[in-house]
Amino acid sequence: MLTNARQVDVRPRGVVAVDLDGTLLPDTTVSSLLGVRFGDAAQIRELERAYAAGEIGNDVFAARSARGLRGVRLRDVADALTDACWLDGIRPAVESLHQSGLEVVLASITWAFAVRIVADQFGLDGACGCEMGVVDGILTGELLRVCLPADKAAFAADRCRLAGRPSSRLVALGDSSGDLPLFAAAGFSVAVNGSQPAVAAARASIVTRDLRDVVPIVLSYFSSLG
């Protein structure tokens, strides 16, 4: 055994936390997609309106929408998500970030079962969201745990901590006011097709339909850290 061999640091250089609804999935949300396909589309539209207006929080939204997904199979959810209109270039962008030594995770407040499917689909390293019961690959409609904007920020910060990196090496990508806690937890933030509050809070912003356009911005930040 070589006791004097130089130890190679295999930890990621940093973590990139990406929002899902409105960011990777522009113009709609996972809840809207699943509501149209499997549940009550009118109810979901009203819940989305009330949430956007600040009349309800994600706890109420999740509790009211969960029941409409009872009995839906995860494989049918996967089919619905595969058919969605995603931002272009997600997998190549993730691969580029991986090649640069970065971990990439999905930080979302939508349903965790859907977020995990998306993470697997595009090759991301982890995910968070609201938890619903699943038995034998079928949704029970029972809300087990709510995920709020502060929770997804804590999830991203924890991934950076577990990687052994300071918060300066956490980059956040998001599009809305719901991403402001995530932006605040990160050393650098990018508003991707962002709302006015997101653009105002972010360190950088971009309007694009291809996630590959964001990669140079992220890598430039990490290069500046040395």
* pLDDT for res 9: 53
- How many residues can be counted in the chain? 226
β-strand pairing of 102-111 with 188-192: unpaired
* pLDDT for res 195: 96
Residue 110 is which amino acid? T
- Name which of 179, 181, 26 is nearest 191 in CA terms: 179
* CATH classification for the domain delimited by 14-27+86-225, as one of 1.20.1050.10, 3.40.50.1000, 2.70.180.20, 3.40.50.150: 3.40.50.1000
* pLDDT for res 166: 96
The per-residue pLDDT for range 84-94, each reduced to its tens digit, is 999 999 999 99
The residue extents of the domains of the chain are 14-27+86-225
Q: What is the dihedral of CA 120, 84, 143, 195, to 10 degrees?
A: 100
CA distance linking residue 197 with residue 202, whole number of Å: 9
Q: Which long-range contacts (CB under 8 A, 24 or more apart) does 123-127 make?
A: 123/91, 123/94, 123/95, 123/98, 124/18, 124/94, 126/159
CA distance linking residue 1 with residue 62, whole number of Å: 55
* pLDDT for res 7: 40
Report mean pLDDT in 10-residue bins for the chain, 226 residues: 42 96 94 87 87 88 89 96 96 98 97 97 97 97 95 98 96 97 98 97 98 98 93
- Name which of 130, 187, 131 is nearest 156 in CA terms: 187
pTM higher than 0.95, yes or no? no
